[in-house]
Amino acid sequence: MFVAATTQCYPDLNLDQAVEKLAHLEFSHIEIDVAEDGHLKPSLIMDDFQTAYDICMSTRRLIVSGLYLNITDQGQLYFDTFKKCCELAKAAKIVTLTVPSGEHGTPFNEEVERYKELVKIAEKHGVRVAMRSAVGNLSADTDTVSVICGHVKGLGLSLDPSHYMQGDPETTAYEKLIQYVHNVYLRDSTGEKLQVMVGQGVVDYGRIINQLRQVKYNRALCVDIQPTDDPDIDHDGELRKLRLLLESLVVV
């Protein structure tokens, strides 16, 4: 296992600035946010592949361990864009592609068929695809995730424990999903607040890491701490604090 950070930690900066920040905080791996309003636009990947590739290879020696794909195209264009992202990942030696699951109300069979097609495309390019845990989406329900991953061979989960804790900080329901984990997002949380200062929440990082070790997980623990309007919170300091904490647990 290794500690990474997503560029989503700096939504108001451009990619170069976000990478510079994360390099300064001594992260060694990053995930790049791919969205039209994110750090790398899917439309750029489609229209100017070489430039997109050069961007992925110009990250101040930080290793790009994953892409978070928020593709808003519809119909066949959605899959065409995803395929191009897989080509980029293969060329840049990026292993994991995370995609959001459908919102609540999305027909189950439709979601299964979508992920089957995504996995089929990804496997042809030697990369892995995972749905992301998120409140408000189908992936917020652990039983639904378990059934979808069971139906779609090769599909993984980008586990975000904080989203399963909302309303029930003691929940262990996501433990049954550990076998499907391809990526992990971490911050500190309570049952009432998705994000609190590191050390003020109830996320048990040590237990999560031990559970991952049991299934021989060897990929990223991706820090995902969003900036707040609270002037008393040092955003960079919070990122550094969690990096150091996770690194101390990983080497044990």
Question: Which pLDDT does position 252 carry in this prediction?
Answer: 61
When divided into structural domains, the chain yields a total of 1
Q: What CATH number does residue 184 fall under?
A: 3.20.20.150
The amino acid that residue 43 corresponds to is: S
pTM of the model: 0.94
Q: 162: helix, coil or strand?
A: helix
CA–CA distances in Å: residue 17 to residues 7, 9, 10, 64, 243: 10, 11, 9, 15, 19
pLDDT at 239: 98
Helix (H) or strand (E) segment spanning residue 123 = helix 108-124
Q: What is the pLDDT of residue 230?
A: 87
In angstroms, the first-to-last Cα distance of the chain is: 11
**C-beta separation of 8 from 18 below 8 A:** no
pLDDT at 185: 98
The residues of the chain scoring below 50 in pLDDT are none
| Domain coverage including residue 17 | 2-250
pLDDT of residue 168: 75
d(CA 65, CA 96): 7
Q: Residue 251: what pLDDT?
A: 83
Identify the pLDDT of residue 174.
Answer: 87
